[in-house]
Chains A and B, each alone.
Chain A
Amino acid sequence: MTEALLSLRGVETHIGQYHILHGVDFDVPEGGLAMLLGRNGAGKTTTLRTVMGLWRASAGEIRFGGRDITRLATPDIARLGIAYVPETMAIFADLTVQENLVLAALAGPPEAKRLEWIFTRFPALKTFWTLPAGFLSGGQKQMLAVARAIVEPRRLLLVDEPTKGLAPAIIANMMEAFRELKDGATTLLVVEQNFAFARQLGDTVAVMDDGRVAHCGSMAEFAVDSGLQQRLLGLGMDTHQ
């Protein structure tokens, strides 16, 4: 079995007076693409933010590449090779597309070859290279948010609902980009509500319910178990084609 790159054990998170995560346990295998599913409010986004250190885990342990990162500051976690694409995209609207990507490249100016690959997947970014990102459409902003995370090779990519509000053609491109990243030895943990996308892309799946992981396993098995889908997600995947 592939060794886990990211491992969460008994992770609890409080936001103010609210207890959101109640002991999250799951592993993300190295080189794989793990999908994190669950109903709204199940704790998926909180899990990603806790891994990034944007919300502090109040209990439990988060290990990345064997190292305990539970108490590390967010910039230190990012510099270990973890990139994060939040649900809100969080692009810098007053900065140009170019500036957004330059800022995300920690090792220096982005490599031309890497940029060319990004432009192949997301051509709009090349078209609007010098435009302030605030003028991009919703789909283009999502492309930029993902491009910013992959402008340099990373070990782990945390992506929160990348297909939200996107046109099918862009989703197909996104899917291809994620596959290519995986082939290039990047590990991905993707939160998703689009089950068709999740099923086609995921190697493994963790399903969250009420701040806990209710199911972990392979996506292939989960995709054919409509009873489990019904119990954990409320709807079978077939209804989301």
Chain B
Amino acid sequence: MNKPKRDLLPLLLIPALAVAALPLVGSPASWVTLTVAGLAMGMMVFIMASGLTLTFGLMDVLNFGHGAFIAVGAFVAASVMLSLGPWMVADSFWLNMAAIGPAVLAAVVASGALGFAFERVIVRPVYGQHLKQILVTTGGLIVAEQLLKVVWGPEQITLSRPAALRGAFLFGDIAIEKYRVLAVIVGLVVFAGLALTLNRTRIGLLIRAGVENGEMVEALGYRIRRLFVGVFVVGSALAGLGGAMWGLYQETVTAAIGAQVAVLVFIVVIIGGLGSVGGCFVGALLVGLTANYIGFLAPKVALGSNILLMALILLWRPQGLFPVAKR
């Protein structure tokens, strides 16, 4: 038997899309800026989507309330950053980071804790019942949005990035926003962390096996539900991290932030192949690049560009870019 080839075709879509956009954009400087912006956006969406794809893969749970974790992360981070206002506006990189670090940590902890409660109260009673999952998790999202308005008020919160993350790196005509570089780095770190956990640890082995066939994992002697709760909490915490970053990226936070970005998150999860973290990563980058290129070239169709991308990919690969082998 020959060694099977890795399926690299979906990976090639990312450079292919970028190269195809170059002549259309025209200016190389604009192209670089758009490409980095697209990658940064993609990384943030990936951070928010990675947990969702795993929870679906592990337990077939359709969680339409995932946006709640994103929104809570954004609000909690915003509150901490606003409370540390002097450090945020200080002209010192370390003071800026001293404000952002606790804000991100608080967002991760709050979203993770909400995820734990959400799984117990909302998701657990509807295991294996897809229609009820959709209804009850959507209801959970609506309730969470209203609670955010109760706690933080109905007005949007304006958030300024700290001095260290404002401005851009200039390379001749090319301007690359500092915050986008940070988003790319954080996204890569999260991806590397997930990839290492999934491929190099026993818990990762269990998660990968559970995504394929949870019943058989149980028959081997492992409690898949306990594993699922852990993955759900980590996924929620990552959504909180993504929400905090998205809030800083948009520089405004509203109660609807989760629901808005959840549309992108679901597109990414579907494009990538339900349950596939690698697919989620590639899908997120494609979505980020497409949104930025189309937004620049044809702003009027930008809104629908990702739906079109999803339709094209599903016509090519109906199970997504990297379908997970299911039982």
Query: Smallest distance from the beta carbon of A141 to chain B beta carbons, Å?
Result: 12
Q: Are B219 and A94 in contact (CB-based, < 8 A)?
A: no
Q: Are A90 and B209 in contact (CB-based, < 8 A)?
A: no
Q: Are B221 and A106 in contact (CB-based, < 8 A)?
A: yes
Interface size class of B (residues with CB under 8 A): 20 to 34
Q: Are B1 and A95 in contact (CB-based, < 8 A)?
A: no
Q: Are A78 and B212 in contact (CB-based, < 8 A)?
A: no
Residue of A nearest to B6 (CB): A132
With the chains together, A86 CA to B220 CA distance in Å? 12
Query: Smallest distance from the beta carbon of B206 to chain A beta carbons, Å?
Result: 7
Q: Are B208 and A54 in contact (CB-based, < 8 A)?
A: no
Chain B residues, Cβ within 8 Å of A106: 220-221
Interface string of B1-32 (1 = CB under 8 A from A): 10110000000000000000000000000000
Interface string of A96-112 (1 = CB under 8 A from B): 00010011101000000
Q: Are A102 and B1 in contact (CB-based, < 8 A)?
A: no
8 Å CB contacts to B: which residues of A42-100?
52, 54, 73-75, 78-79, 84, 86, 88, 90, 92-95, 99
With the chains together, A197 CA to B219 CA distance in Å? 26
Judged by a CB distance under 8 angstroms, whether B324 is at the interface is yes
Q: Are A90 and B327 in contact (CB-based, < 8 A)?
A: yes
Q: Are B209 and A52 in contact (CB-based, < 8 A)?
A: no
Q: Are B215 and A78 in contact (CB-based, < 8 A)?
A: no
With the chains together, A102 CA to B222 CA distance in Å? 13
Known A-B contacts A75-B218, A131-B3; A92 and B208 likewise in contact (beta carbons under 8 Å): yes
Judged by a CB distance under 8 angstroms, whether B131 is at the interface is no
Known A-B contacts A73-B223, A84-B219; A93 and B212 likewise in contact (beta carbons under 8 Å): yes
Interface string of B196-218 (1 = CB under 8 A from A): 00000010011011001101111
Q: Are A92 and B219 in contact (CB-based, < 8 A)?
A: no
Q: Are A99 and B205 in contact (CB-based, < 8 A)?
A: yes
Chain A residues, Cβ within 8 Å of B208: 92, 94-95
Residue of A nearest to B217 (CB): A103
Instruction: Report which of A86, A128, A132 forms a contact with B216, defined as CB distance below 8 A.
Output: A86
Instruction: Report which of B1, B202, B206, B325 forms a contact with A93, defined as CB distance below 8 A.
Output: B325
With the chains together, A219 CA to B213 CA distance in Å? 35
Instruction: Report which of A73, A103, A135 forms a contact with B209, defined as CB distance below 8 A.
Output: A103
Q: Are A103 and B220 in contact (CB-based, < 8 A)?
A: yes
Chain B residues, Cβ within 8 Å of A234: none
Chain A residues, Cβ within 8 Å of B213: 90, 92
8 Å CB contacts to A: which residues of B202-253?
202, 205-206, 208-209, 212-213, 215-224
Chain B residues, Cβ within 8 Å of A127: 1
With the chains together, A99 CA to B209 CA distance in Å? 9
With the chains together, A90 CA to B214 CA distance in Å? 10
With the chains together, A189 CA to B4 CA distance in Å? 36
With the chains together, A73 CA to B218 CA distance in Å? 9
Residue of A nearest to B224 (CB): A75
With the chains together, A88 CA to B216 CA distance in Å? 11
Query: Smallest distance from the beta carbon of A214 to chain B beta carbons, Å?
Result: 28
Residue of A nearest to B206 (CB): A103
Residue of B nearest to A76 (CB): B221
Instruction: Report which of B4, B218, B219 forms a contact with A131, defined as CB distance below 8 A.
Output: B4
Q: Are B209 and A95 in contact (CB-based, < 8 A)?
A: yes
Known A-B contacts A128-B1, A132-B4; A75 and B223 likewise in contact (beta carbons under 8 Å): yes
Known A-B contacts A73-B223, A103-B205; A134 and B325 likewise in contact (beta carbons under 8 Å): yes
Q: Are B212 and A92 in contact (CB-based, < 8 A)?
A: yes
Q: Are B221 and A79 in contact (CB-based, < 8 A)?
A: yes
Q: Are B327 and A75 in contact (CB-based, < 8 A)?
A: no
Q: Are A75 and B222 in contact (CB-based, < 8 A)?
A: yes
Interface string of A132-146 (1 = CB under 8 A from B): 101100000000000
Can you name 14 A-B residue pairings with CB atoms under 8 Å? Answer: A75-B223, A78-B218, A78-B220, A88-B327, A90-B216, A90-B219, A90-B327, A92-B213, A94-B208, A94-B325, A95-B209, A103-B205, A106-B221, A131-B1
Q: Which 8 A-B pairs have the closest CB atoms?
A: A78-B221, A93-B325, A90-B216, A74-B218, A79-B221, A92-B209, A84-B219, A135-B4
With A75-B218, A78-B219 known, 18 other A-B pairs at CB within 8 A are: A54-B215, A54-B219, A73-B223, A74-B215, A74-B219, A78-B220, A79-B221, A92-B216, A94-B324, A94-B325, A99-B209, A103-B209, A103-B220, A106-B220, A106-B221, A131-B1, A131-B4, A135-B1
Residues of chain A at the chain B interface (Cβ within 8 Å): 52, 54, 73-75, 78-79, 84, 86, 88, 90, 92-95, 99, 102-104, 106, 127-128, 131-132, 134-135, 148
